[in-house]
Chains A and B, each alone.
Chain A
Amino acid sequence: MSDRELDSWAGAWQSNVPDLGPLRKRAAREGLWLRVIVANDALGSLGCLAVAVWFVLDEPDLLRLVIAGGLAALGALGCVFTMQNWRGLWQDGAASVRDYLAQARARSAARLRWIRLGGWLLAAEMMFFGAVIAWRWQAGVDPGKAGRALVLLLVLCIAAGIFVGWLLRRERRNAAGLERMAAEIERET
């Protein structure tokens, strides 16, 4: 083994000069797209808060206050999740790859916690709304409307469940990938 050997490999390696023509454009487009996604997430959270405020101001009663509280909580949660999720984009200049991996694992664990919390909050809200609608139905308060609301709630439950399940599965795979890599690297250290 000699340094000449490594130098010769390095020479061969560096003689590969790929064409990077479209990379600049694609990077600029992707950078813009990321900003659009972040702005979209933030707008979604703000939208939740705006609807919550409107619910309270429009016709304040106890049920609307509870709905507004739930929406505000979801909006705030979404906001924090967005920050947590996207903060990683600005941490690529971490001091070392080891630090970066540690940060990535911590971020992934935090994302998993937020997704679970969001899922439980959604489930609690759905159960609350389901109970209120069922109670109104039983009491005979506009039964047609209550029936439609129950169907709508069921559809919402299924959609929310699928979405939260998809987020969880995606994040668990990511976390497992990070753990596997960290273990592989640690074995060599």
Chain B
Amino acid sequence: MSREHRQQQFEQVLADHGPALARLAAAYERRPALREELLQDIAVALWQALPSFRGDASMKTFVLRVATNRAMTHLARRPPPTAGLDEAVDLPADGPSPEVAADVASRNARLMRAVEDLPLPMKQVMSLALEGLPPSDIAAVLGLSESNVGVRLHRAKAKLRAALVNTHE
């Protein structure tokens, strides 16, 4: 793969999947500065890994797998603090009017926080499911059986539902 072709492909991948990468980084790292660092690491990892893409899976699956791999390395080096940080999730949300936008942003922030707080095995599954990956692809990305993905997703949904209800009250 020529450098120019690789550069083009990289630009295209960032254009198509950049927001998904940022959301995934936010799911694994709450601290803003470290989240930026993780996102940057993911982008570099993606640049390094692109030549190994053979088209066995979709580009989205490949990209999310590389991102999840890099997030694991990040978590091993910088484990999340045991005490919860009360930092706002600052991913902007689209919305038609300021009131609706504020409501949507608030709901999205709660969802983001609830996903962040999931235990790692459930977060892995849920962050990929929320990006629209089907269970078979999630199983391939994580190296699990589909039934195991189903079990984890079921538990993650229950935890997420409970967390969203609690934060709403």
Contact = CB atoms under 8 A, between A and B. Distances in A.
Interface string A1-42: 100011001101111111110011011101100100000000
Centre residue among B47, B76, B148 by max chain A CB count within 10 A: B76
A26 B40 contact: yes
Nearest to B111: A12
Contacts of A95: 143
B132 A10 contact: yes
B121 A18 contact: no
Nearest to B140: A96
Interface residues of B, number: 65
A18 B19 contact: yes
A144 interface: no
A164 interface: no
B23 A18 contact: yes
A35 B120 CA distance: 32
A93 B158 CA distance: 31
A94 B23 contact: no
Interface of A: 1, 5-6, 9-10, 12-20, 23-24, 26-28, 30-31, 34, 89-90, 92-101, 104, 173-174, 177-178, 180-181, 184-185, 187-189
